[in-house]
Structure 1
């Protein structure tokens, strides 16, 4: 993992999991050889990443707070009508605690062992929100994060406004989902051809508005996609090897993952929706295919082949002989959530 090497002293971050709602997934839409009647209620996880640097939006703080994904909106009525039709097919949907409540009160709130003391105020204390992709169960309630700058994959703003082809019409998204004056896209991925199955529908990159109020790390003016291990495209978010944004094509346009360095030889890979079941990542099962309504087949991914390539890269990255430990955490892993409650905020991974 040569790109992680740095002559300066290593910089570590802390990562805490956050409950951000639950939804119910029918197995046959996600994995091969599934029981057609089986459904699983799973979390939509968010994560708090704390970086030891002066906050770009709170000068008095020596910690930058970054949240990865916002989960499910606590008010389902705030989804578009087309989105609400989709949420109706994912019942039960559990909206509490959402990402904001988890930041305020932590995981112990559910056991009733805390008072009303606020641990982190999402409107005042969160500096940056990185959204893996803009499906309804990851966008949460951005208005809760009134002081944060939002960072999203290239093409995301175009996707929110115009949709992308018949499988992803505009009505499946909220045009004003993200604050225009505080949202930036990562640079376009050079020479990207991962979405060959839907090349004509690929959303275009949107440059940040000249009057944007976005506050980013000092390294932002040097952001560029560089190889990292087996990943062809990654961005050193803080410029110190502590957090990498990894281009993770396949699931939805602009889909990104995060790699966080939490120890000298220990990393956490936040995989978003690279897949929806750990058995796919382990190779025990495959990605389910089903009818696309036009006589063909599709999966839950916009480009299934690209999604498979991303999974292959993740598996290779985790197992390569680089003398580091990499833990992969998926957004909808109910088993991981059940076995790691002590690692939810204010606990740490």
Structure 2
């Protein structure tokens, strides 16, 4: 496995908690079991040769601290996920670290997707440029079919003049129908020029993945197209040492037992006479999981890959020392 000469540092951040009914997420579930889990955020620092300071990026922002800033339909959904814990949120966790990084020091924010428990409070990061998967702005404005109506999203969630959508990936369906990619504004492209070169972003096969994008152009942070959960859903593969990767899986699954193969993706009535899962496309989500498993299994010693998904409460309990200012 090839490695990058440039590595990044990653610190976990608490960004709120929510409560998940097990029966909606895993097969063979206890129908009464509900588990309060984190919605994790991650601070990624990329220090390129010749730079005087690292580029600082957040991956996901978790839960909003002000529930009233969600739409009424979102709030109705959130009522089914109680208890929801909003403190500490991403901003509070960043400021509570002993190091001196403030929200204004964040250069980039990448969202794995725009469900309510990942969008956080974007206005906290007034200096940041936002990076999202293709079709995300269309999704926020128009929704995507009866199971994902527009009122489940805030159409003004992200600042239009500071948001850049990644190029479309035909294999994930973007470009063959809604949601369609919104072309970035010139001002947004100019904002990221000191950190990234969007002109050279191209999706290419790498490792076991069919579509990957080299974010910084040096192999240190690879965006992985992971279709299935929601349009525009992406993961990150980060190299943190010569022989270690961290795979940030977002909502590729909501329970690590699914990734391990001990449980399957739960199906439940969709209210329209059919079945659905928590994913917009269950088959595509399962394929994405297969590719992640294949990647992890293909890693040979001394290479190590650690997979962290957004709602893994057991990982959080085991790794409190790796939260900011600690490192993964």
TM-score band, normalised by the shorter chain? over 0.9
The answer to whether the 8 A contact 1:54-1:64 is kept is no
Query: Which segment drifts farther, 209-218 or 229-238?
Result: 209-218
Task: Give the equivalent residue in structure 2 for 1:111.
Answer: none
What is the alpha-carbon distance in structure 2 between the residues aligned to residue 191 and residue 22 of structure 1? 33
Counterpart check, 1:103 vs 2:80: no
Task: Give the equivalent residue in structure 1 for 2:42.
Answer: 47
CA change 1:5–1:16 in 2 (3 A) is: closer
- Map 1:173-322 onto structure 2 (within 5 A): 173-193=153-173, 202-212=178-188, 214-216=191-193, 217-322=195-300
The answer to whether the 8 A contact 1:24-1:93 is kept is yes
What is the alpha-carbon distance in structure 1 between the residues aligned to residue 238 and residue 96 of structure 2? 24
The answer to whether the 8 A contact 1:181-1:214 is kept is no
What is the alpha-carbon distance in structure 1 between the residues aligned to residue 283 and residue 242 of structure 2? 34
Match for 1:142 among 105, 122, 134?
122
What is the alpha-carbon distance in structure 2 between the residues aligned to residue 136 and residue 17 of structure 1? 19
The answer to whether the 8 A contact 2:267-2:277 is kept is yes
Secondary structure (helix, strand or coil) at the match of 2:192 reads coil
Match for 1:341 among 315, 320, 327?
320
Q: What residue ranges of structure 1 are gaps of 5+ in the alignment?
A: 107-116
What is the alpha-carbon distance in structure 2 between the residues aligned to residue 105 and residue 37 of structure 1? 36
Secondary structure (helix, strand or coil) at the match of 1:214 reads helix
What is the alpha-carbon distance in structure 1 between the residues aligned to residue 99 and residue 91 of structure 2? 11
CA apart distance, 1:248 = 0.5
The answer to whether the 8 A contact 2:196-2:215 is kept is no
Task: Give the equivalent residue in structure 1 for 2:11.
Answer: 16
Task: Give the equivalent residue in structure 1 for 2:111.
Answer: 131
Secondary structure (helix, strand or coil) at the match of 2:235 reads strand
What is the alpha-carbon distance in structure 2 between the residues aligned to residue 169 and residue 315 of structure 1? 32
The answer to whether the 8 A contact 1:126-1:145 is kept is yes
CA apart distance, 1:120 = 1.4
CA apart distance, 1:119 = 2.6
What is the alpha-carbon distance in structure 2 between the residues aligned to residue 181 and residue 80 of structure 1? 22
CA change 1:194–1:221 in 2 (3 A) is: closer
For residues 101-150 of structure 1, what are the alpha-carbon distances to aligned partners after superposition, in whole Å with 9 as ceiling and x for unaligned? 111112xxxxxxxxxx773111x200000000000000000000000000
The answer to whether the 8 A contact 1:14-1:51 is kept is yes
The answer to whether the 8 A contact 1:30-1:299 is kept is yes
Q: Given the two structures, how large is their TM-score scaled by the length of structure 1?
A: 0.90
Count of aligned positions? 325
Match for 1:331 among 292, 310, 316?
310
CA apart distance, 1:303 = 0.2
For the aligned residue pairs, the C-alpha RMSD in angstroms reads: 1.8
Secondary structure (helix, strand or coil) at the match of 1:24 reads strand
CA apart distance, 1:62 = 1.5
What is the alpha-carbon distance in structure 1 between the residues aligned to residue 68 and residue 281 of structure 2? 30
CA apart distance, 1:53 = 3.1
Query: Which segment drifts farther, 215-224 or 310-319?
Result: 215-224
CA apart distance, 1:228 = 1.2
CA change 1:194–1:30 in 2 (3 A) is: farther
Task: Give the equivalent residue in structure 1 for 2:100.
Answer: 119
The answer to whether the 8 A contact 1:194-1:249 is kept is no
For residues 69-118 of structure 1, what are the alpha-carbon distances to aligned partners after superposition, in whole Å with 9 as ceiling and x for unaligned? 00000000100000000111100000000001111112xxxxxxxxxx77
Secondary structure (helix, strand or coil) at the match of 2:285 reads helix
The answer to whether the 8 A contact 1:194-1:250 is kept is no
What is the alpha-carbon distance in structure 2 between the residues aligned to residue 344 and residue 181 of structure 1? 31
